[in-house]
A = this chain, B = another copy of it.
Amino acid sequence: MARHSRVRLADVAQLVGVSTTTASRALNGRGEISDATRAAVLEAADRLGFRPSPFAQSLQSRRSNTVGLIVPNVAHHFYATIVQGAQSYLKEAGYQLVLIDSGEDAEGVADAIDTLIGHWVDGIMITTTPFTAVGFSDLLNGTPCVFIDETVEGVGAGSITLENSEGVALLVDHLAETHGHKRIAFLGGRPDRTDGRERREGFLNAMARRGLLVAPEHVSEGEWSVRSGVEQTLHQIDLATPPTALIAASAELALGALAAARSRGLRLPDDMAIVSFDDPEVGALLEPALTAITYDTLAMGERSARLLVAAFDNESAPFNDVRLPVSLVTRRSCGCEFDTLQALKHAGFDDPRGRVTSPSPS
């Protein structure tokens, strides 16, 4: 295998005719040094293509300039975008991202944390929380950490989450005020996740605030998946008193809901309105185009990385609980007017790399 053999600091120093100490000082700008030698060293380093060995540096400094990110599934757009956001900030800040796709189960996450600590990452960002506070504390063993989209009480430097209940309230308000819906059902995800729980509670609160009754059978629960969306929706449609509008707690649930309703021959949005927390990548391209809550996932990643890096310099800072705003994009599935082609022209969808971006709400 290719053993790396490159120019060392010593080579640079030798070329210039100074000690490695001097060369080091010139390159790092520490200590006093004459302008002449500094210039000479810099030029020599440049000419030789000198790159300091990160291992030697880390061995000496006891820090790796590396940050770990644990996601349950990189292939999911939400997590992939967080990776992207995090990396863009970390690069700027001089850190390298180490990504681990852990799966969602506890064992995988424990493994991932262990691996990252074994690699001496300076900090860890975690997007899935199958442990309690003590569990995490044990695993982390003092390594700085930030939670994304989830919160674990009293562990880590902070968390970045969405305004989940506010978002659901936007959906409820829009359905009720603009379109006059009263019998609104909620398709939920897993209640053991922070986001799932908050969205569910947000729904109940928003309905209560408007004095709208929620029949128990109009609040269902399931997995965070398309299949579950189908099942929950069929169940709702078959009810003696089916709802006139559906709020899906996630993009996958909404996709399932759309498919299920269509296959039952319902005309959307006339027979039933369907809206969603989470705007799927293809939200504007669905039939009907999906009214949804959007948010800046890229910013979630960036903010998280920023929060973590900030924590490096200030370990004793209090837990930082950041909430990111969300907003409503009205399209056709709620009953509003929406011209897909027009929307495409004005907002996004032109990423040359092929990304299907949703029009960002202003």
Contacts and interface: CB of A to CB of B under 8 A. Distances in A.
A148 interface: no
Interface string A84-125: 100110000000111111011000000000010111101100
A96 B351 CA distance: 30
A235 interface: no
A54 interface: yes
B97 A99 contact: yes
Interface stretch (A20-28, A169-177, A254-262, A319-327): A254-262
A230 B341 contact: yes
Contacts of A115: 96
A76 B281 CA distance: 10
Contacts of A97: 98-99
A355 interface: yes
One complex includes copies of this chain to the number of 2
Given A55-B58, A88-B101, A282-B280, A2 B352 contact: no
A341 B263 contact: yes
B226 A344 contact: yes
Interface of A: 1-5, 51, 53-56, 58-59, 62-64, 72-77, 80-81, 83-84, 87-88, 96-101, 103-104, 115, 117-120, 122-123, 142-144, 223-228, 230, 250-252, 255-256, 258-260, 262-263, 280-282, 284-287, 312-313, 315, 339-341, 344-345, 349-356
